[in-house]
Amino acid sequence: MKLKFAIVFTGLAAISLAMAAQNNVPMVGGAPMYPAKNIVENASAAPNLTTLVAAIKAAGLVDTLEGPGPFTVFAPTNDAFDKLPPGTVDNLIKPENQNALKKILTYHVVPGRVTAHKLIAMIKKDGGQTQLKTVEGGTITAMLDGDNVVLKDEKGGIATVTQADVMQKNGVVHVINAVLMPN
């Protein structure tokens, strides 16, 4: 009986993914990102954003990122979190480190809906790089490296946008390949 259920579920999942692709719904980590859903709902569906979602929950930011926004989120993948020194994520998600975790996560959020087109226009207008004020209060420097948008954090770390303009009900997500760190 379980095998038949698995086959039916797999078939339904395949149909759902095919419909998403047919309707030009962007995929993140193989999961459809529906523009009618909010940032947390969509991120929770992406298998490559599970560390980010766990961190959002540990930091107590779910209600905020489910709110009306709009927000621009630079979303580090699981691989981005894996680049941090061993034990960093485990340490940050401890309740006693909630404020430090919240500071790092809100550093990845910019108020408003900043699409890639708008961000590239800002970079060009500002002579090759532009400063983005984050919800945390710090700044991220955005610049171009060829056709790629590159972000530089306050500690000199670099992240590249690997997937841009994943539209959400309450903002836009740009997937990045490194965790940005505030001062």
Give the confidence band of 24 by pLDDT, cuts at 50, 70, 90: confident
Position 180 scores a pLDDT of 98
Q: What does the pLDDT look like over 130-173, one tens digit per residue?
A: 999 999 999 999 999 999 999 999 999 999 999 999 999 999 99
The Cα-based distances of 27 to 39, 45, 164 in angstroms read 14, 10, 11
What fold, for 29-176? FAS1 domain (2.30.180)
pTM above 0.85, yes or no: yes
pLDDT above 50: residue 26:
yes
Q: Distance between CA 13 and CA 101 in Å, rounded?
A: 34
Q: Distance between CA 26 and CA 22 in Å, rounded?
A: 10
- The contacts of residue 62 (CB under 8 Å, 6+ apart) are 40, 56
- For residues 85-99, one letter each, b for 16 or more C-beta atoms within 10 angstroms of the residue's C-beta and e for the rest, the string is eeeebeebbeeebee
State how far Cα 116 lies from the chain centre: 14
Q: What does the pLDDT look like over 57-112, one tens digit per residue?
A: 999 999 999 999 999 999 999 999 999 999 999 999 999 999 999 999 999 999 99
Domain spans of the chain, in order of start = 29-176
